[in-house]
Chains A and B, each alone.
Chain A
Amino acid sequence: MSEEKTYLDIKDLEVVYSQAKKTVRAVNRVSLKLVKGKTLGLVGETGAGKTTIAKSIMRILPNPQAKVLGGQIFLDGEDLLEKSEDEMYDIRGTKVAMVFQDPMTALNPLMTVGDQILEVLMLHNDCNYKEGLKKAGEMLETVGIPAERCPEYPHQFSGGMKQRVVIAMALACNPELLLADEPTTALDVTIQAQVLDLIKELKKSYNTSMILITHDLGVVAETCDDVAVIYAGKIVESGSKDDVFDRTAHPYTLGLFGSLPSVAVGEKRLHPIGGMPPDPTNLPPGCAFWPRCPYATEECKEEIKFANLSPGHFCRCIHSDKARKALRRKE
């Protein structure tokens, strides 16, 4: 459990979007580490910056709206932000692959499912058509779809199966890092369970490192080893799953757990986080969460540093002790 190899190391990533005359600070100096073979859950709400981070790793941010202002993304020792487009072309698909949120739109409706997997294989693996077709069939089998369905079109598959096809495409070239952006949000609960199980199995057999982006803490609990919580473009808490779930430190994370209906069983009202998500073009100074935080003081309007609470467990809050004490009193 000690010196495991850091496979992905993001340092001080800063990404902005320019819209009309406004600037959205989507990612504000985010630093993350991912150990080889492990799964990191990136938790946050809409607009927190999670997808932007994933797209930055893949270098598929919309151009010219999005700009990387600074930072480094080290993948196995090499800075992805320094790579040329040609080099990234080789990396995408083979070293890093992405599964997107909406299976309905992630597949080309005019190409057969087999052809779409084949395309990935032929672009990155230099295999010929026949070998590729065979491999495509094998990939479908791996995700639980009969290989005979290769010549079918996406509209002939259900939502859950489409997502499996997307996963098959992502894993076709056996990438070392898989970025899954809310892979099961659009799916029914029983189908979500199947797809999550599939992801877990595949991850084990291929030893893929994974970043799982989600807003669902239950999904994180089931699939992730480590967790990073992101709010308004900044990581507010990160650590192992046990750290973040059992020894929750940041008031926002505490608020997220507290607002779950399953937590308020037996009580009449739920405990939402008060206030509204911040306007990304006009973030509050210092800790972006202070307008909604029950423990906020004047000092919160200053820049807050990432404090190390215990080995591997970090929190960006000067009042985390107060917050945790309050929680313990409630229990």
Chain B
Amino acid sequence: MSKTPLIQVKNLKMYFKVPSGLNHAVDDVSFTIERGETLGVVGESGCGKSTLGRTIIRLLEATDGQVLLEGKDITHVKGSKLRKAREKMQIVFQDPYSSLNPRLRIEQTIMEPLYNSNRFGSRAAIKESANELMELVGIDERLRMSYPHELDGGRRQRVGIARALALQPDFICCDEPVSSLDVSIQAQVLNLLMDLQEKLGLAFMFVTHDLSVVRHLSNNILVMYLGQVVEKAPTKELFTKQLHPYTKALLSAIPSVDIHNPMQRIKLKGEITSSINPEPGCRFAARCTYAKEECKQPQELVEDTPNHFVACCRVKEISGL
């Protein structure tokens, strides 16, 4: 008895026209997310992870490929079908400062999605629901009529989370939700997200550059570089054995607090280039120590060990080195 996965992404492409040509922001990405699961998407600037999230929840419309929600193709839907789909997929943004309308009290911000949908009844009922949501995310009663500028980053982020929960979605795209927060607050907000996931059975796509955070929350991880998926694996598997040279470099680049076992750093040469008018083949080749001629060919995501995919033609040779 196979259950339909909640989210299915098939060969998704998102290209943008820019003055100098075409930006291949998301290039041929495929994955599934089951109900209640978390997919971590990691990568650095320009890898396309934020664009990917926005394309899935239909803030952007894909150039090519498919996005399926509970088996239904929502890639290009419009009108009321789009609105219905959107109620099931929400987003928490990175910047707690610009993701809330500075002119609305936080109660109004949370009530707004409830107004937009006609499922939530009278004004009084909506106010009640909003209060419940604020309690759920831990916003003190005294602060419920505040304006965003009166709250600190951590609290603002909780408001953003409450807003995302308002329409009772099944899936939330968390776009670097804690990167802008202080270290001691990050852990609080992450715990909140995990609690909510357990309580409400939410599926997450957790977009971040911070591998240590994603290790904690995700069931599976997608590693992206300049729009391409370079490695895809269950979390435990990825942290035990990295196959792609970029994943290895990424992991080794994180400064470790273990002063007695310093990380053996893999040095990468050069800078992150760009996904505008890219050459065919592996986009990491320019910085890769193992790059050879065959890396200029388009790379396929190949299953190495069960469920562990990598897009590198030299992976067998490299692991043998």
Contacts and interface: CB of A to CB of B under 8 A. Distances in A.
Does a CB–CB distance below 8 Å link A and B in the complex?
Answer: yes
Interface of A: 45-46, 158-161, 188-194, 196-197, 215-219, 221-222, 241-242, 245-246, 255-257, 259-265, 268-274, 276-277
Contacts of A246: 259
Contacts of B188: 272, 274
Contacts of B211: 189
A189 B253 contact: yes
B38 to A, nearest CB: 13
Contact of B182 (A160, A215, A242): A215
Interface string B44-84: 11000000000000000000000000000000000000000
Contacts of A277: 152, 182, 184-185
Given A218-B254, A218-B257, A221-B257, A262 B212 contact: yes
Given A190-B268, A193-B265, A277-B182, A261 B254 contact: no
Q: Chain A interface secondary structure, helix, strand, loop or mixed? A: helix
Nearest to B260: A246
B186 A221 contact: no
A257 B257 contact: yes
Interface of B: 44-45, 152, 154-155, 182-188, 190-191, 194, 209-213, 215-216, 249-250, 252-259, 262, 265, 267-268, 271-272
Contacts of B182: 45-46, 215, 277
A191 B255 CA distance: 12
Nearest to A215: B183
30 contacts: A45-B183, A45-B184, A158-B271, A188-B44, A188-B272, A189-B209, A189-B211, A189-B250, A190-B253, A191-B271, A192-B253, A192-B255, A193-B253, A215-B183, A221-B256, A221-B257, A221-B262, A256-B183, A256-B184, A257-B257, A259-B186, A260-B187, A261-B215, A262-B212, A263-B257, A269-B191, A270-B191, A276-B155, A276-B185, A277-B184
Given A194-B267, A261-B213, 15 more contacts: A190-B44, A190-B268, A193-B268, A196-B255, A217-B257, A218-B257, A255-B184, A256-B183, A259-B187, A261-B187, A261-B210, A262-B215, A272-B190, A273-B184, A276-B185
Contact of A159 (B45, B250, B254): B45
B274 to A, nearest CB: 9
Contact of B184 (A160, A193, A241, A259): A259
A222 B262 contact: yes
A46 to B, nearest CB: 5
